[in-house]
Chain A
Amino acid sequence: MSDALLSKLQREDIFVCAQCGYCVKWCPIYDRLGWESTSPRGKIFLLKRMLEKNGSNLFTSNSRIASEFVQRLFDCTTCGRCTEKCHLELDLLDLWVKLRELAVRQGLAPDSVGLMEKTLIGPKNVFGMDSQSRRDWATYTGAEVKVQDQANIVYFVGCVTSYAGRSQGIAQAITAILNHIGENWSLMAEEWCCGHPLDVSGATQGYREIADHNVEAIEKMGARMVVSGCPGCCLAFREEYPRVLGRKLNFEVVHFTQLLDRYISEGKLRVPKLHAAVTYHDPCELARLGGVVDQPRRVLGSFVEKIIEPEESGTMGRCCGSGGLLKATNSAISSDLAEKRLAMLNRTGADVITSACPSCDQSLVEVSSKFPDSKRVQDLAELVASQMGLV
């Protein structure tokens, strides 16, 4: 298998990289491990070396460093800060993902990637849970849900929110708010994993089938909008599906914070004042990769007494450690990154830590026991719904 997956532009970019190192200190993995090979600059240099040696068989012809290099590719949160910081505007994130795909095809990816792929392709969720139980969250939380043949809005719940006990409150909150507004909305009769984990891990073989299924089902429902509380699912619909399917989708894709922002600006939603200081953690896939930075802040600004910005926020927000499948490929580093981020959020002195991603919430909560005085972490949808007395 050759490395034809890399585009001409990407092969060029490897040589365009100035090795200036402006990206280095922004890489959370470099920050944690401190070795040059873990930094974006270091990886580009190693790639260049491999390309120079034998460009047509990138990994197989460079066996002395290939396996360790591939490990570096998967020791990455795919948070995209390197791309954001690159003044040569190299799309490094896309390069890392393409290289992961190459590694998967050549059988060099970590076992955990294969396991994830197998798990996901079967029951169509990342946890390998029974697909029939995907909607059980509604029973557990008592949420009032709708499953209709036709609807204006489809609420795409996502795997983490559907199956991970702690995150199910997000689904409860979102459905409660949609009902409160009186939207004509529905869940999908058969929601499959969005497939984003496949795309980000490079295990893309089964991705098209998933994209086809989800898009066809939604278009059949005549929906004008898909809303999700998961930034990864939103990215899949907005960026990955059109690329994989080779066409535009017939519906708008929004993250729930964007919808909340619209409701508030249109006067459809009034949230009672919360007398507390709140800090907001930007999920990478929502803020930097999805461009949704102001909306959650406007939502918070409409009802909280004080918003305290943490260090490294907005488009330069810092990864919680759960991105890029790092939890599966290197759980120790993932946990360290979560600790570092939670420490930053706690340092703001805010009463509440909020975010807008079930995976971020989960990562931060998982390490919160290491901070005896850590503030509670709550998803923005949950914060709004509870403040309104809807949950």
Chain B
Amino acid sequence: MSLEKTVTNLLGSDRVSTSYLERVAYSHDLAPIPHDIARLFNSLPDIIVKPQSLEEVAGVMKVANRLKMPVTPRGSATWGYGGAVPTMGGILLDLRCLNKIVSFDEAKGLLTVQCGAVWKDIMDFLERTSWELPVYPSSAPSSTVGGFAATGGFGYGSLEHGSLVDNVESINAILPTGEKMMVDPNSDWVTPRQLFGSEGTLCIFGELTLRLVPRRPSAAPFLAYFHQLSNAVEVANELVRKKRPFSLILRAFGFVRAREGALLSPEDAESGAIIFGYYAGTPHQVEEFLNTFARMVTDRGGNPRPREEAEFEWSERFYPLRIKKLGPTVLTSDVLVPSNRLIEMIQYAWQLGCDASADVEVENIWISPDQVLFFPLFLSDERRAFRYLTHSAITKKLIDRAITTGGRSYGYGVWNSFHFAASEPTRRKEFAKLKPLLDPNGVLNPGKTFTAKTRLGFSLPKFMYTGFLETLWRLGGWI
């Protein structure tokens, strides 16, 4: 029986599509990939299926194993590294129908949700309760629970509450073989920490039980402007050491045109930076925090802004991509860097922007007192194919530099897979051990994270990728 017939028998015809139009619509994620690079991979799925239950997901995985057919799980595809994009065609598993809140234990603050649930919907649901999410992604209005778990789980709230995995009670996982398994921190041979950030290669996060945090009686956003970047970074680092806000973000060069400026020094008065965030606690704690914040900012020549401005900035936290209006394309690369090396990374991003004649803005989210999620946005234009291709080297350069500072790439997918070994050698070894155990037929999201497997059947060697991008970068300097 054909694949289409088999999955149609399983799910019904209205949840299976082989339409060419539909397959094209599912062949990408947030990032526009230069055509010459994209065509190395078969990102066009053969079939798209929309399961509505964990049993159906398991059923599809069993079919895939029987037919040795690749399966690419997909949530809202709001990541930019190809984690939700096929590299070898096959089955695309659209998990957005699995969007239910399964149970809510209000007494214990435990919430079980399906993987396709959207974070903002969960936040809205919790508005009516005395609990709130410990952590959520910056793309909460559309990104899904499963997608966030698969791509690392750091976001707003991580500074106070850690990664999503630190707040997960258990996972109802569907293994690549189609077996279902409850995984919790005490599980025998695989733990949530091993599955988190596995980018859809080790399991499908069917349902997650989250440990919520009690809603605090008081909370306030905060905001300050700085003329000097170095002062902003100092305040931010001191603040997260002394107090622990829910979230703290530093934005450098918001809409400042890098190509019009010279190289940046830490004292560059023109660079500008803002820090903003959110603090929750008792009314007394909140008041004390705001006083401390204002004092620190003023002491370093910054300008604490009124509450209504802070509220506006906080309400805008889901929209860093507004900058695309000036693009139209944004190139980015999320990396984790030590907070004491942040200035160096920001300066490097600025320098890359200058070299490439590309405007740059840098968002930095503290995920712990020692670590920052560094998220630069370089404006480019995918319609100018060659120039865009040369700009794509920026992502590689940023990851290389992050590694030298003791940081790492936040995720790998297809495009950053070359950096996995250098970024996290131990974790990669552990992944490489687990993958064949969990996925003996290699059907779940193959050809990425560990490798970048082309449609020709071989993996792109790192030297080729490095040489190609470095050559492009040099060529870019001449045009």
Q: Please give the residue numbers on chain A whose beta carbons come within 8 Å of chain B beta carbons, in ascending order.
A: 12, 15-16, 18-22, 24-25, 34-37, 42, 45-46, 49, 52, 64-65, 68-69, 72, 87-89
Q: Which 3 residue pairs spanning A and B have beta carbons closest together?
A: A21-B142, A15-B328, A37-B25
B255 close to chain A: CB less than 8 A: no
Considering the chains assembled together, what is the distance between the CA atoms of A158 and B20 in angstroms?
41
Q: Is the CB of B20 within 8 A of A16?
A: no
One digit per residue, 1 when the CB lies within 8 angstroms of any chain A CB and 0 when it does not, for chain B 308-327 equals 00000000001101101101
Q: Is the CB of B324 within 8 A of A88?
A: yes
Q: A34-B50, A34-B97, A88-B324 are in contact. Are A18 and B30 (CB under 8 A)?
A: yes
Q: Across the interface, which residues of A come within 8 angstroms of B237, CB to CB?
A: none
Query: Can you list 23 A-B contacts with CB-CB less than 8 angstroms, sorted by A residue number?
Result: A15-B327, A15-B328, A15-B382, A16-B325, A18-B30, A18-B330, A19-B28, A20-B30, A20-B141, A20-B321, A21-B76, A21-B78, A21-B142, A24-B76, A34-B96, A35-B48, A45-B25, A52-B35, A64-B20, A68-B19, A68-B20, A72-B21, A88-B324
Considering the chains assembled together, what is the distance between the CA atoms of A52 and B35 in angstroms?
10
Q: Across the interface, which residues of A come within 8 angstroms of B15, CB to CB?
A: 34
Q: Across the interface, which residues of A come within 8 angstroms of B26, CB to CB?
A: 36
Q: Is the CB of B17 within 8 A of A35?
A: yes
One digit per residue, 1 when the CB lies within 8 angstroms of any chain A CB and 0 when it does not, for chain B 2-30 equals 00000000000001010111101110111
Considering the chains assembled together, what is the distance between the CA atoms of A45 and B77 in angstroms?
13
Q: Is the CB of A20 within 8 A of B139?
A: yes
Considering the chains assembled together, what is the distance between the CA atoms of A49 and B35 in angstroms?
11
One digit per residue, 1 when the CB lies within 8 angstroms of any chain A CB and 0 when it does not, for chain B 232-276 equals 000000000000000000000000000000000000000000000
Q: Is the CB of A35 within 8 A of B28?
A: no
Contact of B142 among A25, A36, A45 (CB under 8 A): A25
Q: A24-B142, A35-B17 are in contact. Are A16 and B25 (CB under 8 A)?
A: no
B118 close to chain A: CB less than 8 A: yes
B433 close to chain A: CB less than 8 A: no
Q: Is the CB of A87 within 8 A of B21?
A: no
Chain B residue at minimum C-beta to C-beta distance from A33: B14
Interface hits, B68-122 → A, CB 8 Å: 76-78, 94, 96-97, 118, 121
B383 close to chain A: CB less than 8 A: yes
B329 close to chain A: CB less than 8 A: yes
Q: Is the CB of B324 within 8 A of A16?
A: yes
Chain A residue at minimum C-beta to C-beta distance from B326: A16
Q: A15-B329, A21-B76 are in contact. Are A37 and B22 (CB under 8 A)?
A: yes
Give the distance to chain B from A66, nearest Cβ to Cβ, in Å.
9
Interface hits, B281-325 → A, CB 8 Å: 318-319, 321-322, 324-325
Q: Is the CB of A20 within 8 A of B142?
A: yes
One digit per residue, 1 when the CB lies within 8 angstroms of any chain A CB and 0 when it does not, for chain B 203-238 equals 000000000000000000000000000000000000
Contact of B21 among A22, A68, A89 (CB under 8 A): A68
Chain B residue at minimum C-beta to C-beta distance from A12: B328
Give the distance to chain A from B436, nearest Cβ to Cβ, in Å.
32
Q: Across the interface, which residues of B come within 8 angstroms of A87, CB to CB?
A: 318-319, 321-322
Considering the chains assembled together, what is the distance between the CA atoms of A49 and B44 in angstroms?
13
Give the distance to chain B from A34, nearest Cβ to Cβ, in Å.
6
Q: Across the interface, which residues of A come within 8 angstroms of B139, CB to CB?
A: 20
Q: A20-B30, A45-B28, A88-B325 are in contact. Are A37 and B77 (CB under 8 A)?
A: no
Q: Is the CB of A22 within 8 A of B329?
A: no
Q: Is the CB of B321 within 8 A of A18?
A: yes
Considering the chains assembled together, what is the distance between the CA atoms of A37 and B45 in angstroms?
14
Q: Across the interface, which residues of B come within 8 angstroms of A64, CB to CB?
A: 20
Q: Across the interface, which residues of B come within 8 angstroms of A52, CB to CB?
A: 35
Considering the chains assembled together, what is the distance between the CA atoms of A373 and B477 in angstroms?
71
Q: Is the CB of A22 within 8 A of B324?
A: no
Q: A24-B142, A68-B19 are in contact. Are A49 and B24 (CB under 8 A)?
A: yes
Q: Is the CB of A20 within 8 A of B25?
A: no
Which of A21, A24, A88 is packed against the most chain B CB atoms within 10 Å? A21
Chain A residue at minimum C-beta to C-beta distance from B19: A68
Give the distance to chain A from B103, nearest Cβ to Cβ, in Å.
22
Considering the chains assembled together, what is the distance between the CA atoms of A147 and B20 in angstroms?
56
Considering the chains assembled together, what is the distance between the CA atoms of A72 and B21 in angstroms?
10
Q: Across the interface, which residues of A come within 8 angstroms of B21, CB to CB?
A: 37, 46, 65, 68-69, 72
Considering the chains assembled together, what is the distance between the CA atoms of A21 and B321 in angstroms?
12
Q: Across the interface, which residues of A come within 8 angstroms of B121, CB to CB?
A: 25
Considering the chains assembled together, what is the distance between the CA atoms of A35 and B322 in angstroms?
26
Q: Across the interface, which residues of A come within 8 angstroms of B94, CB to CB?
A: 34, 36
Interface hits, B307-358 → A, CB 8 Å: 318-319, 321-322, 324-325, 327-330
Considering the chains assembled together, what is the distance between the CA atoms of A37 and B330 in angstroms?
23
Q: Is the CB of B29 within 8 A of A19?
A: yes
Q: A15-B329, A21-B76, A34-B50 are in contact. Are A88 and B322 (CB under 8 A)?
A: yes
Q: Across the interface, which residues of B come within 8 angstroms of A12, CB to CB?
A: 328
Q: Is the CB of A36 within 8 A of B22?
A: yes
Q: Across the interface, which residues of B come within 8 angstroms of A49, CB to CB?
A: 24
Q: Across the interface, which residues of B come within 8 angstroms of A18, CB to CB?
A: 30, 321, 324, 330
Considering the chains assembled together, what is the distance between the CA atoms of A22 and B143 in angstroms?
9
Give the distance to chain B from A323, nearest Cβ to Cβ, in Å.
23
Chain A residue at minimum C-beta to C-beta distance from B118: A25
Give the distance to chain A from B118, nearest Cβ to Cβ, in Å.
6
Which of A49, A69, A88 is packed against the most chain B CB atoms within 10 Å? A88
Chain B residue at minimum C-beta to C-beta distance from A66: B21
Give the distance to chain A from B217, nearest Cβ to Cβ, in Å.
28
Q: A18-B330, A21-B142 are in contact. Are A88 and B22 (CB under 8 A)?
A: no
Chain B residue at minimum C-beta to C-beta distance from A51: B383
Interface hits, B343-391 → A, CB 8 Å: 381-383
Considering the chains assembled together, what is the distance between the CA atoms of A68 and B96 in angstroms?
23
Give the distance to chain A from B276, nearest Cβ to Cβ, in Å.
17
Considering the chains assembled together, what is the distance between the CA atoms of A36 and B329 in angstroms?
21
Interface hits, B121-143 → A, CB 8 Å: 121, 139, 141-143
Considering the chains assembled together, what is the distance between the CA atoms of A52 and B382 in angstroms?
10
Q: Across the interface, which residues of A come within 8 angstroms of B19, CB to CB?
A: 37, 68
Considering the chains assembled together, what is the distance between the CA atoms of A89 and B97 in angstroms?
28
Considering the chains assembled together, what is the distance between the CA atoms of A311 and B121 in angstroms?
13
Q: Across the interface, which residues of A come within 8 angstroms of B20, CB to CB?
A: 64-65, 68
Considering the chains assembled together, what is the distance between the CA atoms of A15 and B327 in angstroms?
9
Considering the chains assembled together, what is the distance between the CA atoms of A65 and B118 in angstroms?
30
Chain B residue at minimum C-beta to C-beta distance from A85: B141
Contact of B22 among A15, A16, A22, A35 (CB under 8 A): A35
Q: Is the CB of A21 within 8 A of B77?
A: yes
Q: Is the CB of B77 within 8 A of A46?
A: no
Q: Across the interface, which residues of B come within 8 angstroms of A46, CB to CB?
A: 21, 24-25
Q: Is the CB of B25 within 8 A of A35?
A: yes
Chain A residue at minimum C-beta to C-beta distance from B97: A34
Q: Is the CB of B142 within 8 A of A16?
A: no
Considering the chains assembled together, what is the distance between the CA atoms of A198 and B403 in angstroms?
59
Q: Is the CB of B141 within 8 A of A22?
A: yes
Q: Across the interface, which residues of A come within 8 angstroms of B96, CB to CB?
A: 34
Q: Across the interface, which residues of A come within 8 angstroms of B319, CB to CB?
A: 87
Q: Across the interface, which residues of A come within 8 angstroms of B35, CB to CB?
A: 52
Considering the chains assembled together, what is the distance between the CA atoms of A16 and B50 in angstroms?
29
Chain B residue at minimum C-beta to C-beta distance from A35: B22
Give the distance to chain B from A83, nearest Cβ to Cβ, in Å.
15
Chain B residue at minimum C-beta to C-beta distance from A42: B25
Give the distance to chain B from A22, nearest Cβ to Cβ, in Å.
5
Contact of A22 among B24, B28, B142, B327 (CB under 8 A): B142
Considering the chains assembled together, what is the distance between the CA atoms of A11 and B68 in angstroms?
41
Q: A34-B97, A37-B25, A69-B21 are in contact. Are A20 and B327 (CB under 8 A)?
A: no
Q: Across the interface, which residues of B come within 8 angstroms of A20, CB to CB?
A: 30, 78, 139, 141-142, 321
Give the distance to chain B from A50, nearest Cβ to Cβ, in Å.
10
